[in-house]
Amino acid sequence: MRQIFLDTETTGLSADNGDRIIEIGCVEMLHRKLTGNNRHIYVNPGRDSHEEALKVHGITSEFLKDKPRFADIALDLLDFLKDAHVVIHNAPFDLGFLNMELALIKQPPVKSVVASITDTLVMAKEIFPGKRNSLDALCDRLEVDNSGRTLHGALLDAELLADMYINLTRGQNALLMDEGPATDANGDRVSALDLSQFVLPVISASEQEMAAHEDVLQQIDASSKGKTIWRTAEQKTLESVT
């Protein structure tokens, strides 16, 4: 599967109010391996960045004055994204700007040319409810080195996003089933192991582990305002008994 990890930097926070894209970073991954076939584009937005935005990315109008306009790079960008599975952190923000820029030059929105769009912020909120899920927070939590990130940069952030995504989804490979015959290093077929010959011990959780588990459940309950499935089911069971 071909994935593109994408990030943008902009002159401000509102595409609807005239802010524009100034930088685009795309990192390509094929079958969960980085290919090095990336895209890094600076764009002349035709306007200055807001002061607060400039503090975030540090990209000045003087630096951007000789860079291409979005219209000059749009077709190459769309061709690079075509049929890819695009991954973005807080996708509505970046897509809002990209689709605005594309609409201005009468080009189709991103979703019409890509295979799918995944928002890792949505993923992270489901996996870590109630916790901070910014890119920096996730890098810290998932042990991705972001020590070089003093200012935001589209390519650097896309690279960090790719590393973070791999760690966030690391267990997914174990869920994939290979229906073909197992083989060894020489390509010879290996007989399936009969697991019925093993007796697996059942190890019960200790009181300390049970208490820690209950504490995590209570934290999730608090984050979801008591709407967790197990608490709802538990309450219904108690009501039916009484």
In contact, 142 and 167? CB cutoff 8 Å: yes
Query: What DSSP assignment string belongs to 163-213?
Result: HHHHHHTGGGGGG----SPPB-TTS-B-PPP-GGG------PPPHHHHHHH
Q: d(Cα 133, Cα 182) in Å, to the nearest integer? A: 39
Dihedrals phi, psi of 58, to nearest 5 degrees: 70, 15
Distances 179 to 140, 164, 176, 182 between C-alpha atoms, Å: 37, 29, 10, 9
DSSP three-state, residue 139:
helix
What residue type is 111 in one-letter code? K
Catalytic residue numbers read 152
What are the counts of helices (DSSP H) followed by strands (DSSP E) for the chain? 9, 6
Nearest of 51, 46, 56, 55 to residue 22 by alpha carbon: 46
